[in-house]
Amino acid sequence: MDVEEFRVRGKEMVDYICQYMSNLGNYRVTPDIEPGYLKKLLPKEAPEEPEEWDNIMEDMDKKIMPGITHWQHPRFHAYFPSGNSYPSILADMMSDAIGCIGFSWAASPACTELETIVMDWLGKAIGLPDDFITSKEESKGGGVIQTSASECVLVTMLAARNQAIQYLKRDHPSTVDSEFLPQLICYCSKEAHSCVEKAAKILLVQIKILDTDENGSLRGETLRDVMEKDKANGLFPFFVSAILGSTSSCSFDNLEEIGPVCREQACTWLHVDAAYAGNAFICPELKYYLKGVEYIDSFNTNPNKWLLTSFDCSCLWVKNRYRLTSALVVDPLYLQHANSDEAIDYRHWGIPLSRRFRSLKLWFVIRKYGLSGLQKYIRNHINLAKHFESLVRKDKRFEVVNDVQLGLVCFRLVAPDIVNQSLLATINASGKLHMIPSMVKEKYIIRFCVTAENATQEDIEHAWRVITEHTSELLSRKSIRNQVFFRPPLTRQKSKRLSFTRSVSKEMYQRSKSRSNLADGATPILVVDSDEEHELNQDAILDVLTSNVNMDDDVFNKDCDDSFRIQPTSPTEIACNGI
Ligand SMILES: *Cc1c(COP(=O)(O)O)cnc(C)c1O
């Protein structure tokens, strides 16, 4: 493709994008396809000869688009927002065109310097202490853009591990580093993201996942008790990852209590994972969430979640950058340059050597919206979540399960988990709305997150109408279990659609004794999928349904709630009274 063709195709692509964005609302949110659909549509081998652009675009339209889950759809309420905006898309286009690899200052000075400046802008806007801001006098800290929050947690845990080993080495200088590993232990709460556990696994250190209080908050006393016991057993607490805005219910650990407990220890790094919620702290009225921030060593938030910036843009700030880089620095001569003492070389701040020009999109976004525009966006989402909460609270069939503070509402039918599961499965299968489940206080809940940039009250009310219509339909069935799961029998096609995020075969289910790997929190809708279309084994379905980890084992034999009583009659007939 030469520049003249690019000029034409580029403009066409922008038109295509505009068309896509304006018509998004008319599509299903989730695709209506079967796993493996694309294999049937594309050739097995890469093309030997160049192809026409028009043919590629036609396949884009006819083959790829039908398999897309539309994250920017006004009816998409799953996960957290996937940050996106026109300034961000355009800036990424520019970054791709420049195509520089910014591993050192010399490799592309603007790439490094802009990152430092934009991270200072955002760090100040969020309200991080001066120690974290590179440009503040005496500051040893600074910010860096990583690919993901998981990576932020991994590199801070790595820095903490290095710091702890250096500390322990003072008394045992001849011991090799790896010999200290068995002593090292880190902590997070049950509400923490699984990436903390993953980091501990990668770094070969022990982790304890602690209980929270009834609001999903990790408290200082809990942490102190466990740490004291562990120290008495010869362990060394080296790292704590606190959470501000948990993924399942947007709960907040008590930083003001956890902070001093970490500071009482010999050498414990305190990290804050605020991947979603941290973005909201740019609003002055939300800064109180940062109470206790003076105790922390590092902080991460993802503008690619809730600050209109496209993936990837995960921001990490550290109080002492030398403690981070000393865990990561390997400095072969060929990468050194004349200014390496004064300049920041971001290759020492993370795992990859090569880095994209990611600060460009954040810079475009912050400038085009201004902090006031970004605050307005955040506040709109919070107001809409509160509005959704009020709609749920007015309907006695439902309960709200989390303390709605930002853009996430967790709710459920006052009914056994299985009924909530089937409600969510039918809503998702309709393609009219997309939400995902989670577990809060041992119960299966449905998460509703406000995600679209320009979401309105009408969007929220529409979503609530879809939910209540499906609810009434579901609850009007005399025998929920009969009709939803058994009559008519699930065909292969239907089972896939209900469980479009994951289906398990009979054999796979029978092989798998571990329930947890069938219900991973994001896709716990289990529907047995049989190769013999017509003889789906109902006993196998019953097995899956009644032994699902998300369900009370004895759910069918227990009175659940006065307004929703399920009584066992025969294995295939369960009556629902009182709705
Ligand atoms: C989304 C999320 C993560 C994971 O983010 P990635 O950038 O996908 O690694 C980690 N922690 C919290 C609190 C999150 O909400």
| pLDDT at 355 > cutoff 60 | yes
DSSP state of 346: G
Strand partners, 573: 570
What's the rounded mean pLDDT across residues 48-63? 97
Distance between Cα 380 and ligand 1 center (Å): 22
The pLDDT value given to residue 95: 97
Tell me: cis bond preceding 237? Omega within 30 of 0 counts: no
| Least confidently predicted of 39-43, 50-54, 491-495 | 491-495
Residue 146, pLDDT score: 97
What's the pLDDT tens digit per position in 471-526? 999 888 755 544 444 333 444 444 433 333 344 555 554 554 343 333 333 433 33
Lowest mean pLDDT among 29-38, 127-136, 546-555: 546-555
What is the mean predicted confidence (pLDDT) over 172-194?
96
13 pLDDT above the threshold of 90: yes
- Ligand 1 geometric centre to CA of 192 (Å): 9
Q: How far is the CA of 275 from the centre of ligand 1 (A)?
A: 5
Domains of the chain, earliest start first: 3-74 (1.20.1340.10), 100-356 (3.40.640.10), 478-579 (no CATH)
Provide the pLDDT for residue 344. 86
Mean pLDDT on 181-204: 96
Encoded amino acid at 82, one letter: S
255 C-alpha to ligand 1 centroid (Å): 19
Which residue among 247, 272, 402 has the greatest number of ligand 1 atoms within 8 angstroms of its CB, and so is best to mutate? 247
Candidate from 302, 311, 312, 449 with most ligand 1 atoms within 8 A of CB, to mutate: 302
Which band of pLDDT confidence, cut at 50, 70 and 90, is reported for residue 19? very high
Mean pLDDT of 35-62: 96
Supply the mean pLDDT for the chain. 85
Share of the chain above pLDDT 70, in %: 80
Instruction: Output the 3-class SS for 436-497.
Output: EEEEECCEEEEEEECCCCCCCHHHHHHHHHHHHHHHHHHHCCCCHHHHHHHCCCCCHHHHHH
Buried b (16+ CB within 10 A) or exposed e, 451-490: bbbebeeebbeebbeebeebbeebbeeebbbeebbbeebb
Q: Report d(CA 177, CA 288) in Å as an integer.
A: 40
Residue 418 near residue 429 (C-beta atoms within 8 A): no
Contact 95, 356 (CB under 8 A): yes
The answer to whether the peptide bond before residue 345 is cis (omega within 30 degrees of 0) is no
Give 342's pLDDT tier (boundaries 50, 70, 90).
Answer: low
Question: What integer pLDDT is reported at residue 551 of this predicted model?
Answer: 36
The pLDDT tens digits of the residues spanning 276-303 come to 999 999 999 999 999 999 999 999 999 9
Of the listed ranges 450-454, 517-521, 538-542, the one predicted with least confidence: 517-521
pLDDT of the residue at 442: 86
Q: Using the mean position of ligand 1's atoms as its centre, give its distance from the Cα of residue 95 in Å.
A: 24
Q: How much is the pLDDT for 335? A: 57
| pTM (two decimals) | 0.84
At a CB cut-off of 8 Å and minimum separation 6, what does 267 contact?
A: 163, 164, 167, 236, 238
Query: What pLDDT is attached to residue 101?
Result: 93
Using DSSP, state whether 578 is helix, strand or coil.
Answer: coil
Note the pLDDT of residue 538. Answer: 46
Cα–Cα nearest to 315, from 329, 326, 328, 305: 305
CA 144/CA 346 separation, integer angstroms = 7
Residue 440: what pLDDT? Answer: 87
For the segment 306-331, what is each residue's pLDDT rounded down to a tens digit? Answer: 999 999 999 999 999 999 998 998 87
Q: How confident is the model at residue 439 (pLDDT cuts 50, 70, 90)?
A: confident
Nearest CA, atom 4, ligand 1: 149
| pLDDT of res. 203 | 97
Q: Measured between alpha carbons, how far is 358 from 95 in angstroms, rounded to an integer? A: 7
Tell me what percent of the residues of the chain surpass a pLDDT of 90. Answer: 74
Q: Which residues does ligand 1 sit against, CB inside 6 Å?
A: 80, 148-150, 193, 195, 243, 246-247, 273, 275-276, 302, 314
Q: Is 104 helix (H, G, I), strand (E, B) or coil?
A: coil
Weakest-pLDDT range from 52-56, 153-157, 250-254, 522-526: 522-526
Whole-number pLDDT of residue 475: 86
- CA of 302, closest atom in ligand 1: 7
Tell me what pLDDT residue 495 has.
40
